[in-house]
Amino acid sequence: TSFSTPKKKKRDDGMREHVTGCARSEGYYKIDKKDKLKYLNNSRAFAEEPPADTQVRNHPPQRRSEQRRLLSSFTGSCDSDLLKFNQLKFRKKKLKFCKSHIHDWGLFAMEPIAADEMVIEYVGQNIRQVIADMREKRYEDEGIGSSYMFRVDHDTIIDATKCGNFARFINHSCNPNCYAKVITVESQKKIVIYSKQHINVNEEITYDYKFPIEDVKIPCLCGSENCRGTLN
């Protein structure tokens, strides 16, 4: 039995035609430089042509302005806090915690943050006042110097001492660059830290704890010009 070597045929466009239907079955063969140049030119032209979905995205200015108008009307008709909170979940701010000149650990921005933006949610366990009093005493007995409890309302407190996130490292300042706000998301109250002003990279995130006035004072170490001297 003899096997005949497939003859080299060229198509109308000058490219080699594989008579067996598969280039692999014809073994190794050298491609002529002229044919290779034609192939490269055809591939380059195809690569430079933008795909169809990209062409659709390049909307004219009128189309983009129309989209912005629709988005603004949608934002105005919806709960802005809910919309911002959803944006916060999908686009988390880049933050880090490290040693602070104010007190122990602090939270710092790793990217510029514009004014009136959600920075981070204060995450922890929702507990009642009775449980909060019990835990505070237990934390003292365990030697935990700081407890991270944030009051939401008269009945609810968020305890982030042992199951919180980076928000618990935010230090107090009498001249803060952020503020805390209670928002309601799907009938559940949450505490979110908002920026009061533009925050630069590596700038420490701070807010006013607004502790109630008490006889036993807690010294404030924020060092701002208008420092009150105490947290409470």
Alpha-helical segments (H) within 9-141: 33-48, 52-57, 61-77, 80-90, 129-141
Token pair 């067996």 is at which residue? 20
Domains of the chain with CATH codes: 80-115+169-231 (2.170.270.10), 124-164 (no CATH)
pLDDT top residue among 109 and 35: 109
d(CA 206, CA 141): 29
State the sign of the Cα–Cα–Cα–Cα dihedral 212, 210, 184, 97. Answer: negative
Residue 51 has pLDDT above 70, yes or no: no
Indicate the pTM of the whole model: 0.60
Residue 19 has pLDDT above 80, yes or no: no
Residue 158 has pLDDT above 80, yes or no: yes
Residues 6+ away with beta carbon under 8 Å from 53: none
Q: What's the pLDDT tens digit per position in 93-113?
A: 899 989 998 888 899 999 999
- State the angle between helix axes of 61-77 and 80-90 in degrees (0 to 180), rounded to the nearest 10: 120
